């Protein structure tokens, strides 16, 4: 029977071998955290390698994702479908063992990590989701949602500001099932961190209302005792501060930044093997070590026990059990299409004159009763984003509910939402001013990269925001969001388009959506029912030209009305133009060429109108087309005044069309 240290040394060997073969990677962290990982995964982590998606598994997050060979080694050794041949292709094209852990590449990877600080924040999202799902589904004697979230993180994660946002909120929530391990090795890429990171981490987390324990990160008994203690603290998240040696076992490079982000070298690998007493050849693991790590039988027993619990739960609460299964599968309610079709039709019939943020609130209010997994929130702007409604119950500290006040934590909010979406059972959306989406851009990118369903509600969409001035007026932001691969961006131009956009965002299973809404009012507009399906395609002909079109005006959001008014003025002057509403450029770009040509007729001059930067629109109008936009920052004044000042007028649209012709 292998000792704990021998089992941990298997991680060290695989990590340095894979990095050495790739001539690239980060061996130091996996070698330093191997002892912690061995205790956690063998003695505490509830998981089943034969079913990585088991609903009540513990979630494990490697926030310091550069140490990716740690989790690849763990997955391989414990019996996940990650064969040794995959480890040998570490960091190579199409390998499941990418340079940083990538969600959906290898089984058992709960979230993509690498941008430091986001992993721990995802972990907070996992733990919040567990708590919310437990509140909604657990019944006395039937705890079907009952699992922990474990997070490994390094000094870099703690330096990133997002960790402050997330860990502070985790303390307020009292997330007792969140246990984080700090790899306290005093090293980052630039060397010993004493010159740039001297925080008192223990006091910091105690101030966040966390339970804090400090241990020797190479003492298995101390680590085990710390985890046992943390699991008993149910009203606070726990931080286990683990004093470790980076690159543990390397005689010449341990404790140094030399092993942080570079292969050890053949000679040092050989010396490390000798130092550790590890005799097997590279990528060879003795049978007794595999036996000591194998988690398949234990995992199957754990899941079977839960299956029995769930069967008893289903017998007593059949409707709840069915709902739980549906939600964890990510399926929408059976009446979803019927209910949303009716909601869109009613919205269209009303044709209300509203700011699109107001139309959004009405849509949220219509969706919430039919979508119990809907989880709203805002970064301290609920009354401005209009993201809440009467059917939501606000979460306040440790109370349950389905609407979250995140505080002024834009980045934290969206990264937490990513964790919630990955956990399953919830469809999270969160609001802020569009201008402050920049704070959260990396979280949006990660959602798009992982192809997960989150919804960003971004209001006050342009200089129409008004008096708050240029600091609060997005200019480049909408275009920048559109450039994120796999991000669907919607900027609707009336209430019906808002309703369709919301419906499409909720239905989308393979990526996030951003909904861009106005502070300024928009005219009511009643559509032909055929428009409902057309809106879903991202762009459509809202108003065809009378006769042959000399030009096409493309518009979005509040500027759509300018295009419609300009069409009338131009027609009176004998110039026939069609008006295309393009609420989502991303969705439109995915349509087939025949449809795109039916909307934007080839050979016909085009003019785009949007209160944002002009360069983006050149992909549609070309160099010969025209754009009514803004390429400067705004000013402080009422929104209507600013729109006129910066040229968002019917006269200027008309002039631009004529100049192009």
Catalytic residue positions?
A: 410
What whole-number distance in Å separates Cα of residue 580 and Cα of residue 162?
40
Question: Residues of 24-34 as b/e, b for ≥16 C-beta within 10 angstroms?
Answer: ebbbbbbbbbb
Which of 126, 134, 121, 131 minimizes the C-alpha distance to 110? 126
Whole-number Å distance between alpha carbons of 570 and 609:
15
Q: Note the Cα 133 to chain centre separation in Å.
A: 19
Residue of 423, 142, 147 lying closest to 310 (CA atoms)? 142
- Which tokens in the block code for residue 631? 């390429």
Reading across the β-sheet that carries 394-395, which strands appear in turn?
394-395, 403-405, 374-378, 427-433, 455-459, 513-516, 488-490
Per DSSP, the three-state class of 398 is: coil
Full DSSP string of 416-474:
HHHHHHHHSS-EEEEEEEGGGGGGGHHHHHHHHHHT---EEEEES-SGGG-TT-GGG--
Give the contacts of 398 (CB within 8 A, at least 6 positions apart).
Answer: 173, 174, 235
Q: Look at residues 386, 443, 383 and name the one whose alpha carbon lies nearest to residue 409.
A: 443
The C-alpha atoms of residue 440 and residue 381 are separated, in whole angstroms, by: 15
Closest alpha carbon to 629 in 525, 538, 548, 557: 557
Neighbours of 529 (CB within 10 A): 9
**3-state DSSP of 313-367:** HHHHCHHHHHHHHHHHHCCCCCCHHHHHHHHHHHHHHHCCCEEHHHHHHHHHHHH
The Cβ-side half-sphere exposure at 143, using a 13 Å CA radius, reads 4
Beta strands in 93-188 (DSSP E): 149-154, 178-184, 187-188
Backbone angles phi, psi at 56, to 5 degrees: -100, 25
Give the per-residue SS3 of 190-216.
Answer: CEEHHHCCCCCHHHHHHHCCCEEEEEE
Which of 103, 50, 41 minimizes the C-alpha distance to 73? Answer: 41
SS3 288: helix
Closest CA to 263 of 282, 277, 243: 282
DSSP 600: S
Name the residue with tokens 């909120």.
Answer: 169
Instruction: Report how far residue 562's alpha carbon sits from residue 559's, in angstroms, rounded to the nearest whole number.
Output: 5
CA 21 vs CA 15, 265, 628: distances in Å: 10, 10, 55
432: alpha, beta or left, given left = phi > 0 and alpha = psi -120 to 50? beta
**DSSP label at 58?**
P
* 650 half-sphere exposure, CB direction, 13 A CA radius: 9
Radius of gyration of the chain (CA): 27
> What spatial distance separates the first Cα and last Cα of the chain, rounded to whole Å?
83
């Amino acid at each position: 029977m292998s000792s704990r240290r021998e089992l941990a040394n298997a991680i060290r060997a695989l990590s340095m071998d894979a990095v050495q073969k790739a001539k690239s990677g980060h061996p130091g962290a996996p070698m330093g955290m191997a002892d912690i990982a061995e205790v956690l995964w063998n003695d505490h982590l509830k998981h089943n390698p034969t079913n990585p998606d088991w609903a009540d598994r513990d979630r494990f997050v490697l926030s310091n994702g550069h140490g990716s060979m740690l989790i690849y080694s763990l997955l391989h050794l414990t019996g996940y479908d990650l064969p040794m041949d995959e480890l040998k292709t570490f960091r190579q094209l199409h390998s499941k063992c990418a340079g940083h852990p990538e969600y959906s590449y290898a089984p058992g990877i709960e979230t993509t990590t690498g941008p430091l600080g986001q992993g721990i924040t995802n972990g907070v999202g996992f733990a919040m989701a567990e708590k919310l799902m437990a509140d909604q589904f657990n019944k006395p004697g039937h705890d079907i949602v009952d699992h922990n979230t474990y997070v490994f993180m390094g000094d870099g994660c703690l330096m990133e500001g997002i960790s402050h946002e997330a860990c502070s909120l985790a303390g307020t929530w009292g997330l007792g099932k969140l246990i984080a391990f700090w790899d306290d090795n005093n090293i980052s890429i630039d060397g010993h961190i004493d010159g740039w990171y001297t925080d008192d981490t223990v006091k910091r987390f105690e101030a966040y209302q966390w339970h804090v324990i400090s241990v020797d990160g190479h003492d298995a008994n101390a680590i085990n005792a710390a985890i046992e203690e943390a699991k008993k603290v149910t009203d606070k998240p726990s931080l286990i501060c683990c004093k470790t040696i980076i690159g543990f076992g390397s005689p010449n490079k341990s404790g140094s930044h030399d092993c942080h982000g570079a292969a050890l070298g053949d000679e040092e690998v050989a010396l490390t093997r000798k130092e550790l007493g590890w005799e097997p050849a590279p990528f060879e693991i003795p049978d007794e070590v595999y036996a000591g790590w194998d988690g398949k039988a234990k995992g199957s027993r754990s899941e079977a026990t839960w299956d029995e619990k769930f069967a008893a739960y289903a017998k007593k609460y059949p409707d709840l059990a069915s709902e739980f299964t549906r939600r964890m599968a990510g399926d929408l309610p059976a009446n979803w299409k019927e209910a949303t079709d009716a909601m869109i039709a009613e919205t269209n019939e009303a044709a209300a004159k509203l700011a699109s943020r107001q139309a959004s609130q009405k849509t949220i209010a219509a969706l919430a009763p039919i979508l119990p997994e809907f989880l709203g929130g805002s970064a301290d702007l609920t009354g401005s984003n209009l993201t809440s409604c009467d059917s939501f119950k606000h979460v306040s500290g440790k109370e349950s509910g389905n609407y979250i006040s995140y505080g002024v934590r834009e980045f934290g909010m969206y990264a937490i939402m990513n964790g919630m979406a990955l956990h399953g059972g919830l469809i999270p959306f969160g609001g802020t001013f569009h201008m402050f989406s920049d704070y959260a851009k990396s979280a949006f990118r990660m959602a798009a990269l992982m192809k997960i369903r989150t919804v960003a509600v971004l209001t006050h969409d342009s200089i129409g925001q008004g008096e708050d001035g240029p600091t609060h007026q997005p200019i480049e932001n909408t275009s920048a969001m559109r450039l994120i691969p796999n991000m669907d961006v919607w900027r609707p131009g009336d209430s019906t388009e808002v309703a369709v956009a919301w419906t499409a965002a909720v239905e989308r299973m393979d990526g996030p959506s951003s909904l861009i809404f106005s502070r300024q009012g928009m005219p009511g507009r009643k559509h032909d029912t055929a428009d409902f399906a057309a809106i879903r395609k991202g762009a459509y002909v809202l108003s065809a030209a009378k006769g042959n079109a000399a030009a096409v005006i493309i518009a979005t959001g509040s500027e759509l009305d300018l295009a419609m008014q300009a069409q009338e003025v131009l027609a009176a002057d004998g110039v026939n133009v069609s008006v295309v509403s393009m609420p989502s450029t991303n969705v439109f770009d995915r349509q087939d060429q025949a449809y795109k040509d039916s909307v934007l007729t080839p050979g016909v001059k085009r003019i785009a109108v949007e209160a944002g930067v002009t360069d983006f629109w050149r992909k549609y109008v070309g160099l010969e087309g025209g754009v009514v936009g803004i390429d400067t920052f705004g000013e402080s004044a009422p929104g209507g005044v600013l729109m006129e000042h910066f040229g968002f007028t019917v006269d200027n649209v008309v002039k631009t069309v004529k100049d192009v012709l």
